[in-house]
Each structure stands twice: as C-alpha cells, then as structure tokens.
Structure 1
C-alpha cells in the first residue's frame, strides 16, 4: 500500500522531513553523475533533483558539501553469525563502512533455535543501521550426509516462512541437492515458484553439464565460483554472478576478470563477503573495500558501485526498495569524497545519519535475549577416553586419511594419507608430521555422536582449540594434540554456554563466550577483534600454530558443500562422494 504522506511530499503537496543539498548524485540506474538534492519523508526518498517544493520551515537540511551521493551498499550473500557478532553489533560495524543492507540466511541461528530464533534476529534490525533481507534456506542443515542440529528446517517450514515479508527467496540451494533430486529441496523450489520467489545457488566447481541442469531448475544466481571460466559458464546459462571477497576467500582479483578480460557486461554481477570477522573489517573495511579493490583491478568506479548496489538489488528483486537514490526507495545514502578511492564519509540509513568518518553516531543497544536463545546445550561432560581412534590389538602402525588445511583459502581442504604409530590399540597423533586429532561433539542431545579423525595444517605442538560456532550445524569442533586437552576444551565450551577456547595441560589460555545460540555475542566489534586476536594469538604463540587464524580455519571444517573433505558429528566426510569415511585406511 503506497505511503500517502510520501506521495504528498513527492508531489510537492507536503514538506520533506529532511533534504540533502549540495551533492553530486551518482545515478546507478543511468550511469550518470550530476548535481541534485534529495528530499526524504518517513525514511524514504520522495524526490531527487530540484526539491524546492518539498522544502519547509521544519525540514532538516543536510549539506553534502559537494560530495558524491551514492546508494547504500548491499552485501549479496552474508552469513552474519559467522562474524560471531549479534545482528545489532554486526550492523553497527559494517554500517560505518557504508553497508546498509544485506541478504542473509540467518542459517546458523536457524539450526540452533529454529524459526523463532530467526524472527528474534530479524526483529532487532528494526530501527537499526542495517536492514536484513532473509533468504530462507532451501533446507537446513546443508550438510550432505545430513548432520544433527537443534532445529531441522524442512519443507513443511516453507509453508510458513515463504509468506514472511522479510523472505526474498531460497538461500543456499546447494547444487548436489538439486542434481541428486532431494525431494524436500525440489518441493521447496516448487513452492517458491508459486510464491514468485527465486532460488539462490551454491554451486562451486561445477562442470558444463551440471550448470545446464542447475540453470534449468530455476536457480537465479550463484556466489560460489572459483574461476572466471566457471563464472562465464554460469552466466552464459542465465545464472547471475556474485563475486565473493573476504580475508578467508580472497577471490575478486581473479574472478573480476570475467569483466575486465572476458568482456562480460557488469550488469549481472554483484558483490558479497559471505563470511567475515570483526578483525577483517576493522582492518580494511567491508563492501567499501570490495569496491576499491574492483576499481584497482580495472572496472570503472561506476561499474563497481553498481555491482555493490543496484545490480544486487535487481538480482533479489529488491530494486524498488533499495539499490538506488530514486523516489520510493529507502533513504540509504552515502556521502563519498572520491569514487576512485571509495570511502564513505557520512552514512544515512532510513534518512537518519548513522555514521560519520568511520564511526557510529550512537552506541549500539542490544535487545534483551530470550531464554531459548541462551540455553542451547544438551551435552553432558565428555571424558578423554572417548576422543581416541582405536584399532584392533596387535597393530603397531596405521595408515590414516587426514584433512589438509589450505593456508590461503579457508574454504579449500585437500586430503592426505599418513602413517601413524599405534600404542595399546590407539592411533597416536604425531605433531612432528603436523598430524593431530579432530573431533565433533553433537551438542543438541539428539545423539551421543563424537567421531574422531585426523587433521593436518594447524601446526599445534600441544593443547587443543575448540568452537561451537561452526557452520553448517554448530556442533562443537575441536582439534588437539591430546585427548585430555580436547575433552577439557569441549567441556569448557559447554560450561560457557557456547564459544571458543584455547587450552593446554588442563588450563584455559584464552576464551570467548558466545552465549546467544552458542554462536554469537553482544560484543562491540572492537571487543570481538581483541578476543579474536587473543584466541588466535594463544593458538600461535602458546600452542605452536603458524596459521594467521587457526580459529578461522576451525570454524569452517564442518562445511560439506565445498570439496574435498569435512568433519561433522557423523564423522569424516568425503565431499566428492558425500560419504562417511573411516579415518583408518589400514593397519599393520
């Protein structure tokens, strides 16, 4: 229903609440830049250009002082909870850098607390500095085979959620679920089509045959591409491209070649950060950094801004609400001194100034949390004896399958075969071969699953590290040199009601409580960054890891959607064949 007052202001029959004067409008719809004023009423843009008819005695005037006016930036695919910040605290952080909207599945709180958890998170965006549009997961958890979670989100839930006003489509419609005919996912896609919602894809490393089937299913876009050639195959088949760039997945420099070298028009390409941390953002910015990097790599400033705004809005069919400075859209506007060196000086959300010069204008205020969000652990005390890999008596050595971490991209995990010693029927980890134990404890009380395998790449010489923030199921993942320290780490995470710990010899070296769903906390970005450095510093300096972010790697080990290996509460997962694999290949 049209806002009657907005119409009155737009037609000049009433005065604006706010007018932005003396700006250079970056019109992402036409690609033009020209002087214009902007009239705002009830948090929306009423008129652009000559707004003298909208000016009244009580109208607030904001002087842009000749700066460029651009739309607020839109993150096309963002797992907010992977930052370990609550929605309130994350919004406070990224809005400083010009991000005023994000499309998120809120899938981590979904699998711990269900639809009510999602609704609580969406409610705290009201009146905030960043709006969140919800992509309802096609199915959750995304793990294949399916791991155990607190709340299994399935086809019957779509009957309810696809009618929620915040829902813009199906999130993380995983390629394998479509190709292998997961009936729940296909049924949810049928429902989405009837409700005029789009399916958003997750299809890394697909070949031409699989792209054809994926596009035929109706998947509209994909944020998971590892090369410009893969992007080109998808876009040729009608799938829009979202280029991901983060510290964990630095992919823009290569993938932007789709535009700069292959000559594909930029209008069907957007940007996302997917998974980011407070440390990452405070160090370099958020989508503003992505815009700067794209310009550095050869796209024009206008193209880069369009990819961060109107292109994304169009992909999600939100361009009547966000993505441009035009009448009817939310008044999400940035003041920028230079388009080549894109750094928002003033950030306006809903017509309110929320940040200036990289700082919020007001401190964030988190809502009161429900008891359900704060009580998600049903795991009793874990004994060290459960965290051992056993083989038949008499064996002196075992060949084991390991997961090998990538030191460059957290989303890539190879495999390796290593021979380890056996003592009294137990396969021994070997820090000298950089081969330590890895386990996942199911924390929701659905099973007593606690499988143990082996991982390489952490470089730990002693102790253990553990996290309950671990997409896509948020069970407790722990890596360590001794079973005793691993059990201690798991029990400490449970005692905190969720979080991350580094331990050694039965002592906590660093800890980060994450009490909300066991995955996020109401800490400011600065407080979170300090905790991240404390945890990673302990893992490096006291436990021996050489990784820049050992906890960043630990966080992603349960994701099965990305080849080649993962670890869930079901055990070691072959992410090519999607089978559970015994980590012990042979003994002698």
Structure 2
C-alpha cells in the first residue's frame, strides 16, 4: 500500500512518476479553461499538472504523447443499474470504460433483490480488480414497490444502521417520493441516519413540482435523476437540487431536460450532471455511453467545457466524491481521457485507476471475469408450470368481461385502457385483434410462490409469448403472450436454465438468452450479448410486436413507480392510488 509520505515525495518529484502524459491540452474543469499542460501519475494518483513535468521522469517512467489531444477527466455516470444491462460488472466495465466512463454511482439493487446485501461481497471483490470505480449507495429500502412485492432480501433501517457509517457506502440510493410522502418508517430512519453521517440522499421524484417538491426536499434529498420536462428540471435546480439528466437506452430525456440550460439561466449548469440509468450493450456499442451524452449536449448548444463539467466535476461534487475524482489535479485519482477535440469529443485513450485501458481506441487491458460462486448462480425457485396456470379464471362460464389493461404508451408511461374480452370455459381470453395479451408475474425467490395475472395492451403481439427473469425492481419471472401453452413453455425454459430472456412461438423456443448470474446477468462479452439482444428483438417482432424493445418493456412492467399502472407478483398496481386493482371491471353473461 502506498503511504501518504510516499505520495508527498512523489508530488515533490523526489520519486519518479510511473506515467507522464505530455504535450496535451488540459480541460481544466475547476476553472473552465483549456491550456497546454503535462500530467504525471504515480501509483494511480495524479502528482503533477504543469507545463513541464520532466522533473518527474525516471528511467522506468512510461510516456504518452498527447500532441493534438485534449486531456479530460474520467466521466462519471451519476445513476445506473448496471444489472439492467444484463452484463456482469467485468463485462460492463469492458463495455463502458473504453467510452471514457471511469466511475459510476449505483445501488447494485438488482443483485440485492436476489442475493441480498451480504451477497454483494462477491460483487465488491470483482469491482476491486476492475478499472472502474463504483460509488455504492444502499437503497433507501427494498423492495421499492408500493404495495410491496416479493424479493429475496428486504433492506430495512437496520441495514442503514450497519452500512451507512462504512467507508464504501456513499449515500442512500434512489429514494422515491412516495416512500417519503407516506412517511414510511424504514425510509425516514434511513434519511435520518444519512444526515447523521453526512451521506447524500439520492432522490427519485418524477413529475414532482410545487408543494409536493417542497415536501420532498424537506427529507434532505440532495440529488434527483428523474425530470420529465425542462420546467420541472429547472424548478428542482432553483430549489437547490443537484439535477441529473438521464439518457438511457429507452428513456431519452437529454434533449428535453437540457433546455433548462440552453433556454434558461446559465447558472443552472453547475447543478447538472449526467446518468444513463438503464442501458443495453447494443446501444452503447452503437452510440457510446457518457461520451454520447457529452456529444448530444454539445449538439444541443451546450459549450464543450460546460458539457465536460457536467460529465465529470459536477457529478463528483453532487455525490461528495470530488476529493478523489472529477478533475485532473494533483491528489486526484488518475482517471484521464485523451479526446480528439472538445467539440467532437471522441475518446481515443483511456487511463483509469492509473491503468492504460485503451490507447488510440485499441484495447490494452484484458477483461477476464472471476470464477463465480454457487451463491451467484441463477436459480428460479419455482416448480414447472402448466398452460392452465396462465389462464385468468372468472365465475362466469361464458359471456364477456370488461377488463382494465395496462396500456404501454411509452417506455416509462403506462395508462389504463378498458376493453371488452370474451369469456370461454370460465376463462377470460386474451385478444390479439384488440391488441390485448395476457401477462403473469411469478415469484421466483422461493418465498411464497405468488402468481399474479393481468392483461397488457399496446404491444401488438398476435401469437406466441415472451418472458424474462431480469425484471427490476424485484426480478421475478414476467411472462406475456396470447397463447397459454407458449407462455408455459417460455416460463419453464427460464426455470430450467436458471434465468434469462426468451421468445416462444407455436411451441418452439425461437430465441433464448441465458442469464446465469443471479438470473439477471451474464459473462458474455458485450458483443456477444448485443447479438443475443438483436436476436431476441427480431424474434419478438416475429410475434407482431412493434415496440422499440419488447423485452426491455416487459422487464419494466413490475416497476410500480412508472406512471400509472404496473403488475408485480402481488397483483395489478394502480400507483396513483398506491394500491392493487382488480383488472376485471364487469362480467356479463351475454
């Protein structure tokens, strides 16, 4: 372990640097200026940023020539569910770090839902060996769902008593407005503990303004990553929140939110940082990660320096980690990017944790997943199912049923749509002609064997079935389709293989992605996973679905916080009322 005394000597050039970067142009995010500078690195930390670092050079010092390049701090993703990428931590690092993302903020909450907080020890051990920093926040509680769904481990105030004082816990993750508004005791205790230990509270309050926002801010929440309009975004910034622009694979909010800056007061820029929340491999491979957000912001009219600050220093300050990351300065961790020029922002070389990861867009570091313990191996703890298990029984043998469907009108918007369906042999029938499919959420953690049934619309599924065991926030088994036999086959295929995503048609599995890590992730390379994602998407399109990403939409169905309706293993949820609803509105015999 390098001691402070050694770092002091390295800063004074009494011991040679391991690495020097010379002849580049520094993007100094602390002062908002560009100027020529060299950088010296010793033992993963920056020890000098000057116009000449030759005094730091020794016989074994490595040189990187940055002529014509701009030196930019490593980028920070302020809110991401890594598990939603379906990549293991190692493979996610392999995907994101070459795009300049050297730090992320995450709750690792999808893992917690399956393997518990203690199970994260294995994940933390994996992260330690990666060129990627993970600033972990303990979820305010789990499950997030209201009413409460079933997961393998429930985070409570007792967990916050234990973990918040610890060095590797950087705050309270994704505190939703409703948990505060309902004065949930575990949530309030977690927030009180955060204040005691001076840990930031990460908020989640979509479409919250006025008195509702004022009440939410009384909780002490410091950061928020959910704004649906630039007016909402600006109000939150004006009221002191560190606001985060989200641009995920399915929720595109940058163009709207950045208007708070491009059409509003310049001072709002210091409140803004970036996050991707949920991304898939093929999207990052095609467009980039945070580097893509920087480019989008610049294209929207944000000055390059401002966009770089939003992707680095602003996030570091928001999450109280600017003592180690966020800028290129002596004493900071050596997370440094070489980009072609600020306005274009193409990342060419990445140094993270002092390691050269890519050079001139070519990989230098090898990413090898660790051996996995049995505890992390996916297992869906549920008996095999029959087609009849997916039927929706009613007391009337024939006639019609007026049914409330969960209608998808966007990736993060679901509304009620009432339709009339046929009853046959005492079962309400899905109806492809009316764009109504059956949906089930099945408890997979071996706790209670819950099986909730309902109906969805807006999917255009005309035959077959799809299923996923990667389904935040509880990662139960979600199955949708218009053929009950195909729904059973889809569910049983995932139970047999320990988790994944599948498309079934006419009794045949036509696409399958196995997710052996907790039933939600894989050690496939990003390229291999992207190919599987494309295969699944095309297979779902063969069933008639016209959604941009049917498996992603399916995985989000149990997230109750997405307005207005959801379905969990506990039942159909009306989140506007924070209660379950019966999808059968009326039965008729004729």
**2:519 corresponds to:** 518
CA RMSD in angstroms, aligned pairs only: 1.3
Other structure's SS at 1:530 match: helix
TM-score (norm 1): 0.98
Maintained 8 Å contact 1:565/1:574? yes
1:305 aligns to 2:308 (yes or no) = yes
**1:363 corresponds to:** 366
Deviation of 1:395 after TM superposition, in Å, equals 4.5
Separation in 1 of the partners of 2:348 and 2:480? Answer: 43
**2:241 corresponds to:** 239
1:455-466 to 2 correspondence within 5 Å? 455-466=456-467
Higher deviation after alignment, 257-266 or 87-96: 257-266
Maintained 8 Å contact 1:5/1:41? no
**1:3 corresponds to:** 4
Maintained 8 Å contact 2:378/2:499? no
1:500-528 C-alpha deviation (Å, 9 max, x unpaired): 01012221111001011110000110000
Deviation of 1:122 after TM superposition, in Å, equals 1.9
**2:231 corresponds to:** 229
Structure 1, unaligned stretches of length 5 or more? none
1:421-464 C-alpha deviation (Å, 9 max, x unpaired): 11121111000111010110100111121111000122111110
Structure 2, unaligned stretches of length 5 or more? none
**1:204 corresponds to:** 206
**1:337 corresponds to:** 340
1:397-425 C-alpha deviation (Å, 9 max, x unpaired): 0111111112xx41111220011111121
Separation in 1 of the partners of 2:224 and 2:105? Answer: 13
User: How many residues are aligned here?
Assistant: 585
**2:291 corresponds to:** 288
Other structure's SS at 1:115 match: coil
Separation in 1 of the partners of 2:482 and 2:386? Answer: 15
Deviation of 1:561 after TM superposition, in Å, equals 1.3
Maintained 8 Å contact 1:291/1:305? yes
Deviation of 1:154 after TM superposition, in Å, equals 1.3
1:319-398 to 2 correspondence within 5 Å? 319-398=322-401
1:312-360 C-alpha deviation (Å, 9 max, x unpaired): 0000010010010011111000001111111110011112110134443
Maintained 8 Å contact 1:112/1:376? no
Deviation of 1:310 after TM superposition, in Å, equals 0.1
Separation in 2 of the partners of 1:394 and 1:141? Answer: 37
Q: Select 1:258's aligned residue among 257, 260, 269.
A: 260
1:346-385 C-alpha deviation (Å, 9 max, x unpaired): 0111121101344432331001111111154211111221
**1:484 corresponds to:** 485
1:166-201 C-alpha deviation (Å, 9 max, x unpaired): 211000101000111000011011111111101100
1:175-234 C-alpha deviation (Å, 9 max, x unpaired): 000111000011011111111101100000113111101111100010010001111221
Maintained 8 Å contact 1:111/1:153? no
Other structure's SS at 2:117 match: helix
Separation in 2 of the partners of 1:357 and 1:431? Answer: 51
Other structure's SS at 1:290 match: helix
Other structure's SS at 1:537 match: helix
TM-score (norm 2): 0.97
Other structure's SS at 1:96 match: helix
